C-alpha cells in the first residue's frame, strides 16, 4: 500500500493518482517517487486502466524534491541514487499520463509535470525550476524537457534565474495545453482521460510513442517510425472496428485487440 | 501582530480594515503596508469573513505614499520606486481584486495618488459627499500606480482617463459617481452606516456565488467573448454545486427565507 499516494480505483478506464504528502507540499522524496513508479508499473500490467491522471493538492502539485534528503547525499550517494531508476520507470510508462496541476509545480515537481503527456493547469498554478537558488541544477529532465517544451530563451531564463511562470504564461509557451478554473482542474483532466480511454488502446499507445519520438529524433527517422507504427495498426481488430463504425455511423467498441 | 496604523476586526462575517494614520491622511509607510498585508492574509485565511470593508479614519481616506519617506535630496541616489510597488502596492491590489468575497470601499475623505486607485480595485465603492479623488501622480512627475492606468480607462473610457491622469485635477465624489468611477455617493454622516449596512447585507448572501461573479467580471476585462462564455460555463458548474444554490432553490420553492452560508 502506498503511503504517499492516494489511488482511486480505476473508473471508465481512468485511474486517478494523487500525490499525498501534505506536510511537505508534496515534495518528491525517494519514497514518494518510488511509490509513484511502482503504481505506474502496476497500471502498465492492468488492461482495465487505459489512462492515468496524476495530481497533487489544491495548493501544490509538488513543490520540489526533498532538500533534506538531498543534503545527505555526497558525490557517491548521488551516483548511486535510486531516484534515477524511478524517473526512468515514470518516463517509460506507455499509457497516456495526464497531469492536473494546481498550485506549485517546482523543481522536481515541474520535472514530473513534464513527464506527463498532457498538462491541464489551474489558473493559479506556477511552474519553475528554482534549483539554481540552492547552488544545484535540475537533475530529472528540467534542462532537457523544459527547453523542448518552451524554447531556449524562456527555458534559460527559468533555469538560470529560478523564477517561476504562471499558468497562462506556461500555456502560451506550450508547457500546458489547457488552463481552467482551479476547482475544475482534476475534473477536466479526468474528462479528457475518459475520452482518450474510449479510443483504441493500441492506437493510443503507438501514437504516444510516435509523438515522443518527435522530440528526440530527426524528422526522417521520426517519419519512418510513424509509418511503421501506422502499418502495425493495420493488423489490429480495433482498426477494422473503428473504420467500420465510422462507415456505419455508430460508436466504435474497441477491445484493445 | 498587533496593529498600530490600521484598525482591523472580523465580526458577523464582515471584516473591517480601516487605515489609521489620520494625522498623515492615512498615507502609506512601510509599517502600514505590512499591517495591511497581514490583515488581508487573515481575511483570506478566515472561515468567518464573507465581506471585506475597507475605509479610513479621520478626514482623509488615503493620501497614497507618505512622501516624507521619499524626499529626494539633491545629489542623493535616485530611488527605486518600482521596488515598493513590486513589494507592497501590487500584491495589495492583486489581493483586493482576487479576494474571494465582495470588497466594499468606503471613501470617507480625500483619496489621492495610490489612495485614489485602491478604491478602483475594490468591488463596490461608496464615497462621502465631501470626499474627493485626485490622480496626483502627474504633478510630481510620476505615473498612476496601484492599477490606476488599467482601471481608469476601463471605468471611464480613454478620453476621460487621460484627462484625469494627465491633469491630476481634484474631482468630487459626485463627479466620480457620474463618471462611473465609483458606485454611489452617500451623505458624509451616513457613509459609515451605509457601508456597514451594505457589508452586513452581503454577508448574509450567497457569498461563494458572489465571489464567482466577481471572478467572472474581473476576467471579462481581458477575455474574448468566447473565452468568457466558457468561463461562465465553468463558474456556473461550480456555483451549481454550492450548498447556497441548493438552499436558494429550496427556499424559493418552499417560499421561505434562504439561510446562506457562503459555501
**pLDDT score for A172:** 96
**pLDDT score for A67:** 83
Give per-residue pLDDT as tens, A204-233. Answer: 999 999 999 998 899 999 999 999 999 999
Q: Which residues contact B192 (CB under 8 A, 6 or more apart)?
A: B55, B106, B108
Cα–Cα distance for residue pair B209/B201, rounded to 1 Å:
15
Partner-chain contact B238 A184, CB within 8 Å: yes
Q: Does some domain include residue A256?
A: no
Q: Say yes or no: A173 and A237 in one domain.
A: no
The ranges assigned to domains in chain B are 6-203, 207-254
Chain B residues touching A181 at Cβ < 8 A: 231, 234-235, 238
Cα–Cα distance for residue pair A159/B198, rounded to 1 Å:
49
**pLDDT score for B71:** 67
Name beta bridge partners: A18. Answer: A6, A55
Q: Does some domain include residue A207?
A: yes
Number of domains in chain A: 2
**Mean pLDDT, chain A, whole residue set:** 95
Q: Does some domain include residue A255?
A: no
Q: Say yes or no: A191 and A207 in one domain.
A: no
Give per-residue pLDDT as tens, A146-171. Answer: 999 999 999 999 999 999 999 999 99
Q: Does some domain include residue A124?
A: yes
Give per-residue pLDDT as tens, B164-178. Answer: 999 999 999 999 999
**Mean pLDDT, chain B, whole residue set:** 94
A181 and chain B in contact, CB less than 8 A: yes
Q: Where are the beta strands (DSSP E) in B116-255?
A: 124-128, 132-134, 171-172, 184-186
CATH number of residue A237's parent domain: 1.10.12.10
Q: Does some domain include residue A45?
A: yes
Share of chain B above pLDDT 90, in %: 86
**pLDDT score for B29:** 93
- By 3-state DSSP, what share of chain B in percent is helix, strand and coil, each rounded to 5? 50, 15, 30
How near does any CA of chain B get to the CA of A23, in Å? 18
Catalytic annotation, residues of A: 65, 108, 111, 131
Q: Say yes or no: A113 and A235 in one domain.
A: no
Q: Say yes or no: A119 and A225 in one domain.
A: no
Question: Does the structure show a pLDDT above 90 at A64?
Answer: no
**pLDDT score for B33:** 96
Partner-chain contact A184 B231, CB within 8 Å: no
Q: Does the fold of domain B207-254 match that of domain B6-203?
A: no
Q: Does some domain include residue A254?
A: no
Chain B residues touching A183 at Cβ < 8 A: 238
Answer yes or no: are the C-beta atoms of A229 and A206 closer than 8 Å.
yes
Q: Say yes or no: A236 and A147 in one domain.
A: no
Q: Say yes or no: A173 and A208 in one domain.
A: no
**Would you give the distance in Å from CA B217 to the centre of its chain?**
15
For B6-203, the fitting CATH number among 3.90.226.10, 3.40.80.10, 3.30.450.90, 3.40.720.10 is: 3.90.226.10
Question: Does the structure show a pLDDT above 70 at A135?
Answer: yes
pTM of the model: 0.89
State the CB neighbour count (10 A cutoff) for residue B203: 22
Give per-residue pLDDT as tens, A2-58. Answer: 899 999 999 999 999 999 999 999 999 999 999 999 999 999 999 999 999 999 999
Domain that holds residue A20: 5-197
| Mean pLDDT, chain B cut into blocks of 10 residues (263 residues total) | 92 96 94 96 95 97 86 78 93 96 98 97 97 96 96 96 97 97 97 97 96 96 95 96 92 90 89
Question: Does the structure show a pLDDT above 70 at A99?
Answer: yes
Topology of domain B207-254, per CATH? Lyase 2-enoyl-coa Hydratase; Chain  A, domain 2 (1.10.12)
Q: Does some domain include residue A185?
A: yes
How near does any CA of chain B get to the CA of A101, in Å? 17
User: B221-228: long-range contacts at Cβ-Cβ below 8 A with a sequence spacing of 24 or more?
Assistant: B221/B154
CATH number of residue A52's parent domain: 3.90.226.10
Classified as helix, coil or strand, A3 is coil
Partner-chain contact B238 A183, CB within 8 Å: yes
Which residue's C-alpha cell is 523543481?
A107
Amino acid at each position: 500500500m502506498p503511503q504517499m499516494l492516494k489511488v482511486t480505483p480505476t473508473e471508465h478506464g481512468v485511474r486517478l493518482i494523487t500525490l499525498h504528502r501534505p506536510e511537505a507540499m508534496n515534495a518528491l522524496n525517494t519514497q514518494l517517487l518510488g511509490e509513484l513508479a511502482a503504481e505506474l508499473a502496476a497500471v502498465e500490467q492492468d488492461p482495465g486502466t487505459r489512462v492515468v491522471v496524476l495530481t497533487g493538492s489544491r495548493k501544490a502539485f509538488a513543490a520540489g524534491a526533498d532538500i533534506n534528503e538531498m543534503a545527505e547525499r555526497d558525490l557517491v550517494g548521488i551516483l548511486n541514487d535510486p531516484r534515477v531508476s524511478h524517473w526512468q520507470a515514470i518516463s517509460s510508462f506507455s499509457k497516456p499520463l495526464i497531469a492536473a496541476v494546481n498550485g506549485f509545480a517546482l523543481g522536481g515537481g515541474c520535472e514530473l509535470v513534464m513527464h506527463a503527456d498532457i498538462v491541464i493547469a489551474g489558473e493559479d498554478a506556477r511552474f519553475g525550476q528554482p534549483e539554481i537558488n540552492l547552488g544545484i541544477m535540475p537533475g530529472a529532465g528540467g534542462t532537457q524537457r523544459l527547453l523542448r517544451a518552451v524554447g531556449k530563451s524562456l527555458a534559460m531564463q527559468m533555469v538560470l534565474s529560478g523564477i517561476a511562470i504562471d499558468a497562462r504564461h506556461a500555456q502560451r509557451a506550450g508547457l500546458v495545453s489547457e488552463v481552467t478554473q482551479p476547482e475544475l482542474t482534476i475534473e477536466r483532466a479526468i474528462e479528457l482521460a475518459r475520452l482518450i480511454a474510449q479510443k483504441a488502446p493500441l492506437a493510443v499507445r503507438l501514437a504516444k510513442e510516435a509523438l515522443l519520438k518527435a522530440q528526440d529524433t530527426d524528422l526522417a527517422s521520426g517519419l519512418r517510425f510513424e509509418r511503421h507504427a501506422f502499418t502495425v495498426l493495420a493488423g489490429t481488430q480495433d482498426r477494422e472496428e473503428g473504420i467500420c463504425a465510422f462507415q456505419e455511423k455508430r460508436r466504435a467498441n474497441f477491445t484493445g485487440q | 501582530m498587533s496593529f498600530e496604523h490600521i484598525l482591523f476586526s472580523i465580526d458577523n462575517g464582515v471584516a473591517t480594515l480601516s487605515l489609521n494614520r489620520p494625522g498623515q491622511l492615512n498615507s502609506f509607510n512601510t509599517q502600514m503596508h505590512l499591517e495591511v498585508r497581514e490583515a488581508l492574509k487573515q481575511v483570506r485565511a478566515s472561515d468567518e469573513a464573507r465581506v471585506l470593508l475597507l475605509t479610513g479614519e479621520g478626514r482623509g481616506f488615503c493620501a497614497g505614499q507618505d512622501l516624507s519617506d521619499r524626499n529626494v535630496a539633491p545629489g542623493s541616489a535616485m530611488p527605486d520606486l518600482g521596488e515598493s510597488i513590486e513589494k507592497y502596492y501590487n500584491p495589495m491590489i492583486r489581493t483586493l481584486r482576487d479576494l474571494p468575497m465582495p470588497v466594499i470601499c468606503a471613501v470617507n475623505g480625500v483619496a489621492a495618488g495610490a489612495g485614489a486607485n485602491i478604491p478602483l480595485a475594490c468591488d463596490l465603492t461608496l464615497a462621502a459627499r465631501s470626499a474627493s479623488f485626485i490622480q496626483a501622480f502627474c504633478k510630481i512627475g510620476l505615473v498612476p500606480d496601484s492599477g490606476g492606468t488599467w482601471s481608469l480607462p476601463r471605468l471611464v473610457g480613454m478620453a476621460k482617463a487621460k484627462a484625469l491622469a494627465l491633469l491630476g485635477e481634484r474631482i468630487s465624489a459626485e463627479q466620480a459617481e457620474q463618471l462611473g468611477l465609483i458606485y454611489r455617493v452617500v451623505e458624509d454622516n451616513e457613509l459609515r452606516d451605509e457601508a456597514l449596512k451594505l457589508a452586513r447585507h452581503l454577508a448574509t448572501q450567497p457569498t461563494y456565488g458572489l465571489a464567482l461573479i466577481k471572478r467572472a467580471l474581473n476576467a471579462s476585462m481581458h477575455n474574448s467573448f468566447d473565452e468568457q462564455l466558457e468561463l461562465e460555463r465553468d463558474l456556473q458548474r461550480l456555483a451549481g454545486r454550492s450548498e447556497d444554490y441548493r438552499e436558494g432553490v429550496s427556499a424559493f420553492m418552499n417560499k421561505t427565507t434562504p439561510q446562506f452560508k457562503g459555501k
